[in-house]
Amino acid sequence: MLLAKIVGTVVATRKDPRLVSNKLLVVRPVDPRGKVEGNYLVAIDTVDAGVGETVLVVSGSSARMASGMKDVPVDAAIVGIIDAVEVSD
């Protein structure tokens, strides 16, 4: 899973019917110390996260195992809101 920071929202009127009433957010991966790096991606929100929060993003077919995502065409889902990351060294 990736640690990512939510940096924006996505609005799409025309989309797959199974995506209706799901919240789409723009996230950017962060390293364990909180530094943003890498490309932006769109993830579906399953935990009521909001812009500015650090979250846990699950990718690939595992994203469909998130709550309520069965048979939904997604490959990135937000499955947790991060309280703290502790890194040794």
Partner 1 sequence: MQLARVIGDVVATCKDENLTGMKLLVVQPLTADRQPAGRPLVAVDAVGAGVGEEVFFVRGKEASFPFYPAEPPVDAGIVGIVDRWDVG
Contacts with partner 1 by CB under 8 A lie at 1-3, 29, 31-32, 37-38, 46-48, 56, 58-63, 65-67, 69, 77, 79-89
H or E segment to which residue 56 belongs: strand 54-59
Secondary structure letter of residue 72 according to DSSP: -
Shortest distance, CB of residue 29 to partner 1, whole angstroms? 8
Instruction: List residues bridging with 4 in a β-sheet.
Output: 29, 55
d(C-alpha 17, C-alpha 9), whole Å? 19
Strands 2-10 and 23-29, bridge-based pairing:
antiparallel
Nearer to partner 1, 14 or 52 (CB): 52
Our CB check for partner 1 shows the closer of 26 and 80 to be 80
**Which lies closer to partner 1 via its Cβ, residue 11 or residue 84?**
84
